[in-house]
């Protein structure tokens, strides 16, 4: 999440909280596909799934969330428990050394494969960073449920979650709620325990492109049969503490929840009952904006004149991760843009050279003279569709989106953003305190807010960019569009520090409960739960480089549907663009462009290595997570 936006939430909600009783959301049912219109959909979809809802929480890696998960029905999950890194009770296991983290001596230039390193004697202590210290009348955790009622996207019984979890500790201090916080052994540690409840607000950690490449510590010299990319993922705390002088979470990146102790109970229940993946990855090494854009376009956006012609951004905005003189690893410019087509640009050659060293030689996929967004930047449009004119922003993008592809086939779709209606009112100049919660709407999370074809067109914007209230009303009325993207607001998205994973679980439960009340719609609907990125949390999984931008670490992914029941764990290699591939295959669409990642083939796996595609680069289309029966299968199995 874009942190400056998060810092504004508390101040903006202050007025809103005082007038909580005045918030009266009026949901508008989306005039999409009527629940009874089965015949028209059955001709369009390759499977019985006629509605897809993609729900996108924030910033948790797979091992961070499901590191101790034991699947049902004889299924297997590759995680820190099954690898013996930790035991079921969260204590170090016999292979704990496999999670060890290292420091690197000062180097003269940016690197992604450490030339020399030494293990930590004791893991850097986790800290509170900016997590709330106490209840407040103006920001979560609130002092009462009455104030928490400013949030309209939870069921009433769950509003109490917005009143609990304060740290009771100073900001940017050692988080002594973690057991033995100042003397943790060098490796992953359980976040929760006797003095750290699952319900607690906890510190954040860094997640940016050059930093995450460096944390991954990738070198072909490290390659093995099970890890042919040679990424060791062993520099997480080191990069946190060295790329600049700020507090960036220190040891927070090595924390994990323990589902055996009751953590993430709703997500665990869904994994047990439906289908999950232990090989789903964030598409971009880094943060929220670039990964959401990849989810919407299968590609990266670039700096332009707003009409598709590449331009060069101001020099102070261009990243230079080479260390400053006299420092270990303090980046010269921690910028937001990079021209990865030019190896002479700072930081580029170590990544492109590494890609060229891999046996399957993935192309960087960087067009000449293009500066790509690599870290969080606001889109070129405000929530009301007006062009943004101040600050560092992405000019209106002409990248083709999945929305454009669906439009061309007259297939209904919408993006539902939490607090979007209030955000529009704020952009229109509203001073109504009831609209203050609009700052919790995540602008960088909406891939279509970057797109000139959608956000720059008033009719398209009105038809396809909606509020969570519209999603819930559409489920109730049976008017849900064929494809829906659902993004919780910043209070409920599960982001560390500004939210809690339990709050996201409550948001998700609200959606699924609504579906339960409409069994006819539920019978032909699939819900994908996919985190935007790992949030800088460490993960032990294999990482397949696809191009300059990623892939990145594993993240949780769930497929909830009548056709995905049984607790299956999919091992097929997938990432955010796999969702585009699923949409394209189910609704019979072509890949978005000649360069978008949805052109990549489905993985072919050897029996001895289900996690590593034999035909790299490759990403799956998620069809293996479902049981449709031969009669309902798409005949095109090779796409």
| C-alpha distances in Å from residue 327, one per residue of 105, 114, 125, 244 | 10, 16, 22, 9
Scored b (16 or more CB within 10 A) or e, 91-113 reads: ebbeebebbbbbbbeeeeebbbb
Closest alpha carbon to 537 in 61, 147, 78 = 61
Residue 55 forms part of a structural domain:
yes
Residue 458 forms part of a structural domain:
yes
**What is the distance between the alpha carbons of residues 480 and 475, in angstroms, rounded to a whole number?**
6
Task: Give the model's confidence band at 248: pLDDT under 50 very low, under 70 low, under 90 confident, else very high.
Answer: confident
Residue 638 forms part of a structural domain:
no
The mean pLDDT value for 477-482 works out to: 97
Specify the DSSP element, H or E, that contains 469: helix 468-477
pLDDT tens sequence across 337-390: 999 999 999 999 999 999 999 999 999 999 999 999 999 999 999 999 999 999
pLDDT of residue 43: 56
* Radius of gyration of the CA atoms of the chain, in A: 23
Scored b (16 or more CB within 10 A) or e, 594-618 reads: eebbbebbbbebeeeebbbbeebbb
pLDDT of residue 247: 83
pLDDT of residue 60: 97
Dihedral of alpha carbons 536, 260, 571, 220, sign = positive
pLDDT tens sequence across 128-161: 999 999 999 989 999 999 999 999 999 999 999 9
Residue 39 has pLDDT above 90, yes or no: no
Label the pairing between strands 372-373 and 337-338: antiparallel
pLDDT of residue 631: 45
Residue 161 forms part of a structural domain:
yes
Residue 28 has pLDDT above 80, yes or no: no
Task: Give the model's confidence band at 482: pLDDT under 50 very low, under 70 low, under 90 confident, else very high.
Answer: very high
E strands within 172-279? 189-190, 255-256, 275-277
Closest alpha carbon to 81 in 92, 73, 523, 317 = 92
pLDDT tens sequence across 389-420: 998 999 999 999 999 999 999 999 999 999 99
pLDDT tens sequence across 515-552: 999 999 999 999 999 999 999 999 999 999 999 999 99
Is residue 465 within 8 Å of residue 458, measured between CB atoms? no
Task: Give the model's confidence band at 638: pLDDT under 50 very low, under 70 low, under 90 confident, else very high.
Answer: very low
Share of the chain above pLDDT 90, in %: 87
pLDDT tens sequence across 557-589: 999 999 999 999 999 999 999 999 999 999 999
Closest alpha carbon to 572 in 275, 223, 274, 299 = 275
pLDDT tens sequence across 451-479: 999 999 999 999 999 999 999 999 999 99
The mean pLDDT value for 597-612 works out to: 92
Domain that holds residue 333: 3-18+34-628
Residue 258 has pLDDT above 80, yes or no: yes
pTM: predicted TM-score of the whole model, two decimal places:
0.92
> Which of residues 273 and 14 earns the better pLDDT score?
273
Residue 625 has pLDDT above 80, yes or no: yes
Closest alpha carbon to 558 in 549, 543, 570 = 570
Tokens representing residue 383 in the block:
């929530």
- What end-to-end distance do the CA atoms of the chain give, in Å? 34
Residue 73 has pLDDT above 90, yes or no: no
Closest alpha carbon to 401 in 475, 493, 464 = 464
Q: What are 530's strand-pairing partners?
A: 557
**What is the distance between the alpha carbons of residues 576 and 176, in angstroms, rounded to a whole number?**
36
Domain count within the chain: 1
Residue 22 has pLDDT above 90, yes or no: no
Poorest-confidence range of 436-440, 483-487, 491-495? 436-440
Residue 28 forms part of a structural domain:
no
Specify the DSSP element, H or E, that contains 408: helix 402-408
For 328, how many CA atoms within 13 A lie in the half-sphere containing its CB?
14
Residue 634 forms part of a structural domain:
no
Share of the chain above pLDDT 70, in %: 92
Contacts of 337 (CB under 8 A, 6+ apart): 303, 313, 317, 318, 319, 371, 372, 373, 374
Question: Could you tell me the CATH number of the domain that includes residue 373?
Answer: 3.40.720.10
Tell me, what DSSP letter sits at residue 563? T
Give me the DSSP letters along 497-508: TTS-HHHHHHHH
Contacts of 574 (CB under 8 A, 6+ apart): 277, 279, 280, 281, 557, 619, 620, 622
Average pLDDT, rounded, for the chain: 92
Residue 164 has pLDDT above 50, yes or no: yes
Residue 201 forms part of a structural domain:
yes
Is residue 597 within 8 Å of residue 303, measured between CB atoms? no
**What is the distance between the alpha carbons of residues 123 and 189, in angstroms, rounded to a whole number?**
9
Residue 83 has pLDDT above 90, yes or no: yes
Q: What is the dihedral of CA 448, 454, 460, 461, to 10 degrees?
A: 50
Tokens representing residue 578 in the block:
């796999």
Residue 639 forms part of a structural domain:
no
Residue 58 has pLDDT above 90, yes or no: yes
Dihedral of alpha carbons 274, 277, 283, 284, sign = positive
Closest alpha carbon to 524 in 18, 32, 36 = 36
pLDDT of residue 630: 59
């Amino acid at each position: 999440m874009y942190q400056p936006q998060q810092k504004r939430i508390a101040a903006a909600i202050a007025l809103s909280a005082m007038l909580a009783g005045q918030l009266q959301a009026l949901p508008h049912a989306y005039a999409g596909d009527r629940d009874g219109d089965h015949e028209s959909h059955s001709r369009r979809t390759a499977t019985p799934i006629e509605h897809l809802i993609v729900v996108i929480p924030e910033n948790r890696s797979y091992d961070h969330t499901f590191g101790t998960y034991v699947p049902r029905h004889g299924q297997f999950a590759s995680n820190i428990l099954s690898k013996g890194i930790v035991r079921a009770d969260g204590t170090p296991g016999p292979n704990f050394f496999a999670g060890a983290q290292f420091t690197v001596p000062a180097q003269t230039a940016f690197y992604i494969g450490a030339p020399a390193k030494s293990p930590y004697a004791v893991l850097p202590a986790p800290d509170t960073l900016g997590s709330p210290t106490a209840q407040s009348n103006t920001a979560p955790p609130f002092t009462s449920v009455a104030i928490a009622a400013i949030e309209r996207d939870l069921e009433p019984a769950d509003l109490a979650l917005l009143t609990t979890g304060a740290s009771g500790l100073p900001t940017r201090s050692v988080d002594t709620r973690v057991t033995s916080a100042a003397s943790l052994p060098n490796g992953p540690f359980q976040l929760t325990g006797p003095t750290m409840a699952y319900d607690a607000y906890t510190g954040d950690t860094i997640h940016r492109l050059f930093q995450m490449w460096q944390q991954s510590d990738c070198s072909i010299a490290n390659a093995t049969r099970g890890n042919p990319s040679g990424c060791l993922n062993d520099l997480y705390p080191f990069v946190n503490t060295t790329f600049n002088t700020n507090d960036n979470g220190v040891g927070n990146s090595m924390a994990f929840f323990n589902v055996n102790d009751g953590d993430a109970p709703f997500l665990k229940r869904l994994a047990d009952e439906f289908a999950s993946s232990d090989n789903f990855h964030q598409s971009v090494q880094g943060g929220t904006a670039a990964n959401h854009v990849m989810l919407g376009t299968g590609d990266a956006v670039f700096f332009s004149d707003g009409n598709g012609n590449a331009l060069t951004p101001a020099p102070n905005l261009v990243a230079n991760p080479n260390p400053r003189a006299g420092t270990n690893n303090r980046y010269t410019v921690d910028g937001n843009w990079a021209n990865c087509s030019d190896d002479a640009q700072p930081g580029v050659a170590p990544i492109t050279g590494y890609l060229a060293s891999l046996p399957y030689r993935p192309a960087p996929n960087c067009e000449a003279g293009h500066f790509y967004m690599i870290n969080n930047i606001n889109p070129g449009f405000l929530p009301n569709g007006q062009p943004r004119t101040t600050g560092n922003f992405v000019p209106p993008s002409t990248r083709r989106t999945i929305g454009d592809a669906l439009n061309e086939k007259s297939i209904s779709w919408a993006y539902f953003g939490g607090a979007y209606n209030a955000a529009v009112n704020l952009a229109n100049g509203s001073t109504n305190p009831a609209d203050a919660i609009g700052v919790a709407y995540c602008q960088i999370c909406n891939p279509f807010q970057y797109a000139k074809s959608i956000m720059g067109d008033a009719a398209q914007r009105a038809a396809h960019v909606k509020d969570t209230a519209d999603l819930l009303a559409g489920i109730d009325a049976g008017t849900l569009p064929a494809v829906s993207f659902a993004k919780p607001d910043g209070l409920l998205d599960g982001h560390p520090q500004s939210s809690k994973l339990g709050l996201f679980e409550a948001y998700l439960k609200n959606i699924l409960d609504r579906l339960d009340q409409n069994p006819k719609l539920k019978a032909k609907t699939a819900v994908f739960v996919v985190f935007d990125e790992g949030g800088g949390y460490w993960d032990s999984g294999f990482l397949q480089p696809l191009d300059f931008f990623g892939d990145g670490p594993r993240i949780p992914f769930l497929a909830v549907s009548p056709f995905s029941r049984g607790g299956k764990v999919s091992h097929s290699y997938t990432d955010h663009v796999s969702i585009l591939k699923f949409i394209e295959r189910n609704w019979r669409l072509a890949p978005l462009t000649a360069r978008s990642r949805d052109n990549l083939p489905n993985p072919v796996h050897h029996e001895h290595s289900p996690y590593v595609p034999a035909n790299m680069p490759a990403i799956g289309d998620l069809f293996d997570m479902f049981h449709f029966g031969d009669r309902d299968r798409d005949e095109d199995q090779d796409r």
